[in-house]
Amino acid sequence: MIREAAQRLAAAGVENAPRDARLLLAHALGAEPVEVIMRENDSVDIVMLTAFEEAIQRRLCGEPVSRIRGWREFYGRRFAVTPAVLDPRPETELLVEQGLKRLDQAGRVLDLGIGSGCILVSILAERPDAVGMGLDISPAALALARHNANALGVAGRATFIEGGWGHALPGPFDLALSNPPYISEAEMAGLAKDVRAYDPHIALTPGGDGLDSYRAILRAMPAWLRPGGCIGFEFGIEQAGAVTMLMRQAGLTNIDVHRDLAGIQRAAFGRRAP
Ligand SMILES: C[S@@+](CC[C@H](N)C(=O)[O-])C[C@H]1O[C@@H](n2cnc3c(N)ncnc32)[C@H](O)[C@@H]1O
């Protein structure tokens, strides 16, 4: 079944077709992906067969595996995903990894543009001494972030606020993290079908040159980042120079740029003067 489905997916141009076929068969069987290999001599009933075929049809239409399954793994934990949020990307784990290194004991964390909650919830799950707040303009994203915080046992240390980048926030925070929408208007047209069709437009682009979210967040920052506190941003390919210049212009010091696993400059952290 996996081989036959993988051939169909590959013929339709799906990258990593055997992996996707295996994950979708596991989904249809209600099993873990590793179990599929261990259970290769089991027979599959008609209900499961139908569920598998339906999942393969959706993948053939370009829908990402995470959206078909309804969840995605991020920083070692399972996050529910819906059409209301950006499908969390592996490169965003860099923001979590570097944020954790900068988080003081019993620190207060702010996640700007929380989406599924993958950044804030991962930080709170890793650090039981920390508390955090997530901001998003999308009520549906906030509802999902709250669901994920509950499911992963950190809801008691998280609060969620609906509003735009300039919303009055009850700081001060020790660490602020943001993976804001950053794709420029010009780049939107060239995006992969999976991204354009399945991630919410508001999560992808602020329009214009793609940098307006950074400008607005940095403008609001003195109201909620404590002096001496840190802020970290994710950004797109070739945006490192522009984003770090905006950070410098906002008065941040000790600016470090970090590369993702593909070697691409992907995140920058700066410190507010004490
Ligand atoms: C790129 S997604 C990041 C989601 C999640 N943090 C992640 O890394 O997967 C950006 C998020 O910012 C939110 N957003 C977009 N414009 C906003 C604004 N003006 N004010 C607040 N949030 C905004 C979107 O709703 C979306 O959830």
203-237 pLDDT, tens digit each: 999 999 999 999 999 999 999 999 999 999 999 99
Residue 178 Cα: closest atom of ligand 1: 6
66-103 per-position pLDDT tens digit: 999 999 999 999 999 999 999 999 999 999 999 999 99
Residue ranges, CATH 1.10.8, the chain: 2-69
Ligand 1: residue whose CA is nearest its atom 18 = 164
- In this model, does residue 195 exceed pLDDT 80? no
195: exposed, middle or buried (C-beta count within 10 Å: 0-12, 13-18, 19+)?
middle
Residue ranges, CATH 3.40.50.150, the chain: 82-272
Q: 2-69: which CATH architecture? A: Orthogonal Bundle (1.10)
CATH 3.40.50.150 describes domain 82-272: yes
Percent of the chain's residues with pLDDT above 70: 99
Residue 236, CA distances (Å) to 252, 259, 263, 265 in order: 20, 11, 13, 8
Report whether residue 136 contacts ligand 1, using a CB cutoff of 6 Å.
yes
Report whether residue 232 contacts ligand 1, using a CB cutoff of 6 Å.
no
**What's the gap between Cα 173 and its chain centre?**
21
